[in-house]
Amino acid sequence: MPPTPAPSPVPVEVLVPPGTAEWWQIVAALAPVAVLVAAAVGAFMAWRTLRQKAVADDRAEWWKRTQWALDRALDEDRDSKALGLAALDVLARSELARDEELELLDIAWESVNGAEESTGSGQHVSAKFSGSAAVSQHRVQVTAARLRVRLDERLGRTTPPGTAALAKEAP
């Protein structure tokens, strides 16, 4: 038996009522756009919150390292003191260090350095030490001078010439 041909499609009439759409029909038509905008705003807020948390966590870790370095810088042992000052110099470079923290590091530098600062004439206090004590003391002076130069750069101050010259010496 031969196949029977498929009936031909019949057009369907669509009646559109005359006049304008109701307000709720317009709102319903825009609902997918509103959902998309709300999702985008939510995603942005979540990203911003995560970014703020990451910065806060980074600053907290920076401060822990700074506390460790300050403890070393205030140690009586000259080698530990030099290590702490060198670490403070590295930490002072960080963009996480704001002006307030840099001023705290400056106060620490003053308490560590005190009378050990260069006289400005090229003579350093380490001349009163001899042997390995002089080498250790010179290392402390050079690292303290480097920290001072870094802090002065970041805080927009002028470094005394003697300190700048000392910072260029080998530790």
- Residue 150, in any domain of the structure: yes
Cα–Cα distance for residue pair 97/87, rounded to 1 Å: 13
The count of domains in the chain is: 1
The answer to the question of residue 87 being in a domain is: yes
Range of the domain at 116: 27-167
Find the mean pLDDT for residues 14-33: 80
Write the DSSP string, 84-135.
HHHHHHHHHHSTT--HHHHHHHHHHHHHHHGGGS--SSS--GGGGS-THHHH
Count CB-CB contacts under 10 A for residue 11: 5
Is residue 19, in this structure, part of any structural domain at all?
Answer: no
Distance of alpha carbon 8 from alpha carbon 50, whole angstroms: 61
Whether 82 maps to a domain, the answer reads yes
Interval 106-127: pLDDT, tens? 888 888 776 444 434 344 444 5
Assessment of whether the complete model's pTM goes beyond 0.85 = no
Identify the pLDDT of residue 117: 47
The answer to the question of residue 80 being in a domain is yes
d(C-alpha 38, C-alpha 61), whole Å: 35
The answer to whether residue 137 sits within a structural domain is: yes
Asked, for residue 50, whether it belongs to a domain, the answer is yes
